[in-house]
Structure 1
């Protein structure tokens, strides 16, 4: 059970997120300052930065924790599971989380598409997810990333980039539908298409090397 201090911290964090969202939708992300967010949440500027390192970060409050859960899912390969199947399972696991609160995701994306700064921030975040997929593919192939053949690393990065392309297209299609389509079905379909087309290439070439 969370301690009193932990509950207070969670409430303050939630208050900052809600205050930021109110201001962003009222006056725009780019026109809103950290000082205004802090004042709206009735805390100091210093308190804001104890919870969020940048203004962009308050738009994506769950990203760091979600990325870590994604990495954990990638590491939890099931017996006999193919490397790309592990990636698909991890992506579907995160999709399950998003489906629990589609409204929050849709609201977040409304802000993102209206701000070049947030688009850039999201693209930078995507690179972290892409790197996690590439590392998982290499790890699943029982290859040491410190001594791996550069060609294998290159192919892993290509496949990870392709997987993230599927993820982005899937999320956009889901968002454009008003989050009415089943995201899990979309994710499964898109990633299966990728696996059937190119997902085996890295490992076939690696085994032949």
Structure 2
């Protein structure tokens, strides 16, 4: 009787370390980002040079520009992530919520989970200090306002999509988002001027100021002037 057993399968060679090069690139980028933010908040954005950032990480300028176009891009890299975190929270809101209710709930949820969202990139305290730097540095604030306008359009399109509206024909999504974004800008500015720079502080202010939109628009702020002879 012949032996019809299958020959033993050839051993599978071990797979190369998957994504090892990409992980190394990510570590380098993250190190540059952290070094830049630490220098920005300690020395000031305008006084910090690219050379100082690269020296802190022991890499060349060429390496820096492989990941970032300029200092402005690295200054807003974490802010990009925070904004995307908010948009993701907004997309996850239940369809039954009205537009403003959804935005309010999304921004509070984003602040509640900000530490987890940033944990692999930078300490949340460093982000909060860099956010305050943006609010207090004229060159960065101008960029921040421009970026805020772009974000408003992105959110308006998302709100229109949620509500089944044509954004170009119905102004309500842009009006609602403009009111919401205005409160966010006021909150950021006043938080940046205060002594408490914690996440809890800006979340508290955000909630309190958002809750003032309705009363501020729907009620009289002072008694009408008395009528002569009455």
**TM-score band, normalised by shorter chain:** 0.7 to 0.9
Q: 1:18 to 1:73 in 2, by over 3 A?
A: closer
CA shift for structure 1 position 187: 2.3
Asked whether the equivalents of residues 100 and 176 of structure 2 are also in contact (C-alpha less than 8 Å), the reply is no
Matches within 5 A, 1:83-122: 83-98=99-114, 103-122=125-144
The two structures, once aligned, show a CA RMSD in angstroms of 2.9
Asked whether the equivalents of residues 38 and 48 of structure 1 are also in contact (C-alpha less than 8 Å), the reply is yes
Matched, 1:157 2:179: no
- 1:62 match: secondary structure: helix
Greater shift after overlay, 178-187 or 158-167? 178-187
**Counterpart among 181, 184, 189 of residue 172 in structure 1:** 189
Asked whether the equivalents of residues 78 and 127 of structure 2 are also in contact (C-alpha less than 8 Å), the reply is no
Q: 1:66 to 1:106 in 2, by over 3 A?
A: closer
The 1-side partners of 2:22 and 2:215 are apart by: 46
Asked whether the equivalents of residues 34 and 45 of structure 1 are also in contact (C-alpha less than 8 Å), the reply is yes
The 2-side partners of 1:186 and 1:117 are apart by: 25
Asked whether the equivalents of residues 99 and 183 of structure 1 are also in contact (C-alpha less than 8 Å), the reply is no
Matches within 5 A, 1:14-33: 14-25=30-41, 27-33=43-49
Which residue does the alignment assign to 2:5?
none
Which residue does the alignment assign to 2:166?
144
Matched, 1:190 2:172: no
| Structure 1 residues without counterparts, runs of 5 or longer | 200-209
Identify, as 1 or 2, the structure richer in helix: 1
Asked whether the equivalents of residues 34 and 55 of structure 1 are also in contact (C-alpha less than 8 Å), the reply is yes
- 2:77 match: secondary structure: coil
**Counterpart among 56, 73, 76 of residue 89 in structure 2:** 73
TM-score (norm 2): 0.69
| Structure 2 residues without counterparts, runs of 5 or longer | 1-17, 117-122, 219-230
Matched, 1:43 2:62: no
The 1-side partners of 2:93 and 2:44 are apart by: 42
User: Which structure's CA Rg is the greater one?
Assistant: 2
Paired residues in the alignment total 193
Q: 1:65 to 1:26 in 2, by over 3 A?
A: closer
Which residue does the alignment assign to 2:13?
none
